[in-house]
Amino acid sequence: MAMAIRVSLLFCILFLFHAKPSFSLFGDEVGLADWHQQYIGKVKDAVFHTQKAGRKRVVVSTEENVVASLDLRHGEIFWRHVLANNDVVDGIDIALGKYVITLSSSGGILRAWNLPDGQMVWESSLQGCSKSSKSLLSIPKNLKVDKDNLIHVFGNGCLHGVSSIDGEIVWKKSFESESIEVQQIIHPLDSEVIYTIGFVGSSHFEVFAINARNGDLLNKYDAAFPGDFSGEMLLVSDDLVVALGATKSKIVTIKFQDGIKFEQTYLLSDLIGDSSGTAVLLPLKLQGMFALEINGFKIFIRITGEGNLEVVDKVNNATVISDPLLLSEGEKAFAIVQHDDDGKIHLTVKLVHDWNKELHKESIVMDHGRGFIHRVFINNYIRTDRSNGFRALVVMEDHSLLLLQQGAIVWSREDGLASIVGVVTSELPVEKEEGVSVSKVEDNFFEWLKGHMLKLKGTLMLASPEDVVVIQGMRVKNSEKSKMTRDHNGFRKLLIVLTRSGKLFALHTGDGRVVWSLLLPSLRNSACGLSIYQWQVPHHHALDENPSVLIVGQCGQSNDAPGVLSFVDTYTGKEISSSSPAHSVSQVLPLPFTDATEQRLHLLIDQDQRAYLYPRTPEAVTIFQREFSNIYWHSVDSDKGIIKGHALKRNSNHGDDEYFFHSRDVWSIVFPSDSEKIIATVTRKLNEEVVHTQAKIIPDHDDDVMYKYISKNLMFVATVTPKSSGEIGTATPDESSLVVYLIDTISGRILHRMTHHGSQGPVHAVFSENWVVYHYFNLRAHRYQMSVIEIYDQSRSANKDLWKLVLGHHNLTSPISSYSRTEVVTKSQSYFFTHSVKAISVTSTAKGVTSKQLLIGTIVDQVLALDKRFLDPRRSANPSQAEREQGLVPLTDSLPINPQSYVTHSLKVEGLRGIVTVPARLESTTLVFAYGIDLFYTRIAPSRTYDSLTEDFSYALLLITIVGLVAAIFVTWILSEKKDLQDKWR
């Protein structure tokens, strides 16, 4: 019997070890329910480092303020630094063969990074001049490790000589008193003189010759420019620049060493035989040559030894030219990239001084989905036959990065995903049932047996490191997280993300892979403000159609420029249709109505607050007319401090367009410009949030039940005094105040107003159910704060008059109207918070039963999950027993931060901009997607996974355990009966 008991205990222990709870994350579980992807953004400058043996790399700077070193073999990131939003990289180069030099903040900060590992070596703040000017970086190409040559930097009206060894500022020369707009810094090779050239006004040209070692002024030349200067100048050689006149119809060549000499002025009509159009000087660095862009063509012009201009070639505007590459002393090469109609790109490498000689030529088949080439950077290597081979780093229209070599794409990076501007989700198709073969069943049985043997070894801590890797791989495989069909828990979905380049990506939530991508044809070659919306979400049991999304682009420089609409199938990634309406698009209002095909109705509002209905079908108009009187919207003009409410006018169709409607102003709120400036507005998620219950029990209160004021028409508004609208610290506590409002957007009624004296923004807020949480800075306490406001409907409190309840004279089921002057009551509380915040979101679940968590994107680019209970305004220092039973937390002045509450674990989402939450079909679980320069996805359970078992739970082991327990009980019963019988015979 003792043996049977021991067997039973052993089975129980094995079961408990295997069915571990899910409130912690083990090392081998990372990556099972989450994924993390790193990007750098659109590359704008690149420097190759391939001279020495070892790892070949390219150092890049991007439009996302990223400085990174990439492996040339695979495109992986060696190291990466993300600078602040206001610390824009102006220049990048390599010094001493071991330092990456970056100039940023408009010439205000110079940094040196260690090339192998990216550690910062030194940083210099180049301050002292206040004049705003162009920033320039000049690093002599003859730098040697044992020689401390100087780096020359111009910015903010000052020229600095900075040591390349330790970043010490050796000398500084100010140009503020000279009133010169410096255009170029020239440091001739093996020369101790540098030249700064520029213009005073638009008609006077000046040159300063300066000692490169000590900054002494050696000479100064000035001369009147023939005519007015357009502001475009290009260095052609160490002693020659070209400039465009103010009318951009003539070219001026200027020699500036040993005096200023304007060689000649040539009319464009004499060069290209076309006097129409406006010329643009292209920023190429070809020795003795320059290029113009005019009338859709690029024209290459050589300056001969006699100073004459000679047209060398004329190519179409889609052609891209690289910067020159030094091959040997006095010999430079550059690359020309051209597209053809067959989807190929042709890469040609030529010598600068011999246009007709081609060093290299190849053709590469390029995916049309990447668009045109925007930039190209070339590098050479030595082949086995001692000839020069060439590789090209290419930046595409969709912001992707490719390395081309020997006529093939060596690697590619989808760095367009670093600039996401909008996210929606799409369900996957339903899995179709298919027959299962006998061989498949046998294979599954052996895999099952092998898997459980490995898991048993892992449970008993007998697994080798190789076994642990196999176990983790089996968990990933068994989770079926990468299948292209929906699962019963609702974990598998498509994230449809829209990037700034106008490209759509469908990311699988299982592993983050790109299922499909589409560079929208209707939004190409335009600087468009883009947004994405759900268009059609068909029910899979009723319709055979695929879901689709609507992409809206507001293109053009002016606010009244026409918009562009594109409709895309989320399963196939194909553009269904596109249109270019004649009206502008300033707002898009998704309406809570769908037609027979489950297309959602949308109102597009133009700059003049006129409304246009989509889809443009008779059925949509019929549905819209039924709900005409219930459609309102609001507009916010932060600059003028005005918020307006709008509604539609009846019978206001414009001509024959039955989908066009005029609007009328219903209300307006004007904030006085001398005391309040709007800095934040937040509303609830439209048609996405489910509220489980409207009632909230309040123990030890006169009314035991309070009813939440649930309205989709509420808006949170935050204003500050104009003096405190800048960065933190620009105003004193007495000059600063933050005022928050809760406004009904239907009637314009201000339901609540509260002032935080001595506080200022930035304000980040989230609105959910009947509460709003917002984050700001308290100047008096020198700390960040988070405040919560909860709003309740006082008129819906339970009526205790029994006869009124019997006769039905209560108002618990009466409809709520924004014009009914509902009595509301608010509860609020403020807490100190440790971190600065970039974004705030809130979890959402399918039925709204699970408790809420705030997802806070901190300044260190991590996502923190904070239980909403800590932001309950009813918290007190000594809660009653009833309040404790409700889960009310005792009051503290600060919000707690548990290191285990970071959703991103130890990872960072660099450049964090937004957090999106999506409910799963499983009520306990929320899907979380955080995006910035990096992407991160996971799923969390705010109230634990109370309604499910873990994915790797072994039902087979559970069955074996139950059978073992039953067998042990049966054996124990038999042994007990025998023992009783033996005792009776004694």
Non-local (6+) Cβ contacts of 899 within 8 A are: none
SS (H, E, C) 609-668: CCEEEECCCHHHHHHHHHCHHHCEEEEEECCCCEEEEEEECCCCCECCECCEECEEEEEE
| pTM score of the predicted model | 0.86
Please, where are the H alpha helices in 195-239? Answer: none
Low-confidence ranges of the chain (pLDDT < 70): 1-31, 52-54, 128-132, 142-148, 177-178, 264-277, 432-449, 451-452, 455-462, 472-480, 525-527, 540-543, 651-656, 687-688, 699-703, 796-819, 949-956
Structure tokens at 168: 């010490």
- The structure tokens listed for 929 are 């997607």
pLDDT the model gives residue 296: 75
CB burial class (10 A; 0-12, 13-18, 19+) of residue 926? buried
Starting at the earlier edge strand, list the strands of the sheet with 250-255: 229-237, 240-245, 250-255, 261-267
What is the model's pLDDT at position 763?
A: 94
Cα dihedral 199/204/209/212 (nearest 10): -10
Nearest to 395 by CA among 371, 420, 417: 371
Which two tokens mark 229? 């200067």
8 A C-beta contact, residue 395 and residue 371: no
Distance, in Å, from the CA atom of 852 to the CA atom of 768, rounded to the nearest integer, reads 9
The two tokens of residue 638 are 């932060």
Dist. CA 428–CA 921, nearest whole Å: 13
pLDDT digits (tens, 9 = 90+) for 345-376: 889 998 888 888 888 888 888 888 888 889 99
Q: What is the CA radius of gyration of the chain?
A: 34
Please give the single-letter amino acid code of residue 903: V
Sign of the Cα torsion 646, 650, 653, 654 reads negative
Q: Residue ranges of the domains in the chain?
A: 439-483, 682-804+820-833
Q: Please list, in sequence order, all residues whose beta carbon lies within 8 angstroms of the beta carbon of residue 984, skipping any fewer than 6 positions away.
A: none
Q: Which residues contact 138 (CB under 8 A, 6 or more apart)?
A: 151, 152, 153, 185, 186, 187, 194
Q: What pLDDT was estimated at residue 255? A: 82
* DSSP string of 12-72, one letter each residue: HHHHHHHS--SSS--GGGTTTS-EEE-----EEEEEEE-SSSS--EEEEEETTSEEEEEET
Cα dist from 881 to 46, 221, 453, 917, 943, whole Å? 65, 87, 50, 34, 22
